[in-house]
Amino acid sequence: MLTTRQERVLEIIIREYVKNVTPVGSKLICNELNCSSATVRNEMSVLENLGYLEKTHISSGRVPSERGYRYYVDNLMKPKEMTGEDMLKLQTIFNNNKLELNDCLKKSLEIISELTDYTSVVLGSDSSMNKLKKVEVLPLDSDKLVAIIITDKGHIEHKQIRIEGVSLEEISKSTELINKLIVGTPINEIKEKLEFEVKPVINRYVKQHETIYNAFYDVFNDFVMKSDVSFVGRNKILNQPEFNNVEKIKKIFNKLDDDTLIRTTSLDDKDINIYIGNESNVDEDVTIIKTKYQTEDDEGVIAIIGPKRMEYSKVVSLLNYIKENLDKK
């Protein structure tokens, strides 16, 4: 552990670097800690030797290292109190009972992106974690219907499909067979079951079996392939000076396009999980802060993506506020 003074030096350097994006010298720290420049320079040198600070080539000042940010987050960070204005903006959304959960999430993350200038992401429940509870079919007219998939997590997916020359009786019979044979199956395993278990049975009992089978196969395939991911303020990351290199931005965007990267980053039992720099598996200058949310009908992940030089305490407070309000929905 660091000494109290070393912690204060590290804390001041992180605060100033986050705010100004310039290396921090000893003069500012001396004024705040009311001690000599020699004392501060010595503490900065110790922190650099321990790997908590780095010295740039263009300045005698220091900047926080990845290890320094990690020490700050684990030992020094205090949640930043939200302003009444920020709280009111978010509370207005959560108090609007007309908003569906997804709309509520997206609108609240729009506000977070606006307040922080970072990118926000919401990932709905992973289809592989859902099991089929029921399939329903609602006819719209003679050749159009809506197929509805309901999972054990309360997730509902619906798709309008066109089936020509097939009677409602045959469609109902097929739906009944599907419910009988594959209810309880994980969504990501359903296509295989449709092919090897459902299709042979439908072939025996339903005249227009090929048409009906193909229609249901497409519905389930769309559900499995659908990436329930929404980015808010995607281009906010371009506002950060760390990301002014075109190739660097391309690499980051390519990695963020793969939602499994954010989805599969391990979440421990903490309310908020913070992945700094290389821990993010995106880029050494990127931080991802994320948390799980869970309601009666759905669960997923909310993530904030920004520079390693992130205003951690503010983001954590905002995420905690959203998480607490979602738990009440």
Query: Do both 238 and 191 map to the same domain?
Result: no
pLDDT of the residue at 270: 57
Residues 261 and 139 in one domain: no
The domain that holds 310 is classified in CATH as 3.30.450.40
CATH of the domain at 209: 3.30.390.10
Q: Identify whether residues 134 and 211 lie together within a single domain.
A: yes
Residues 116, 244: one domain?
A: yes
Q: Do 322 and 270 share a structural domain?
A: yes
Strands (E), 50-98: 53-55, 62-64
* Final residue in a domain of this structure, among 225, 242, 272: 225
Question: Is the pLDDT reported for residue 219 higher than 70?
Answer: yes
Q: How many domains does the chain have?
A: 3
Q: What are phi and psi of 173, to 5 degrees?
A: -65, -40
User: What are the tokens at 61?
Assistant: 């000042």
Position 122 scores a pLDDT of: 84
Together in a domain, 212 and 256: no
Residues 34 and 178 in one domain: no
* Per-residue tokens: 273: 């999980």
Instruction: Identify the pLDDT of residue 176.
Output: 92
Average pLDDT over residues 272-295: 90
Does 144 lie in the same domain as 55? no
275 and 303 in a common domain: yes
**pLDDT tens per residue across span 118-168:** 999 887 666 666 789 999 988 888 788 888 888 887 677 778 888 888 888
Q: How does the average pLDDT of the chain come out, rounded?
A: 86
Q: In terms of pLDDT, which residue wins out, 303 or 208?
A: 303
Last residue of a domain, one of 225, 259, 276: 225
Residue with tokens 């100004």: 20
> Quick one: 116 and 240 in the same domain?
yes
Rounded mean pLDDT, 57-65 = 83
- CATH number at 53 reads 1.10.10.10
pLDDT of residue 113: 93
Indicate the residue among 225, 260, 289 that finishes a domain.
225
The answer to whether residues 90 and 168 belong to one domain is no
With a pLDDT cut of 90, the percent of the chain lying above it is 42
> What's the pLDDT at 267?
57
Residues 114, 237: one domain? Answer: yes
- pLDDT score, position 171: 87
Which residues form the domain of 309? 84-124+228-327
- Kindly state the average pLDDT of the residues 18-23: 93
Six token digits for residue 129: 């974690």
Q: Which of 108-122, 179-193, 205-219 has the lowest mean pLDDT?
A: 205-219
- Look at 9-18, 147-156, 245-254 and tell me which has the smallest mean pLDDT: 147-156
| pLDDT of 79 over the 90 cut | no
d(CA 80, CA 76): 12
Both tokens assigned to 127: 């289809």
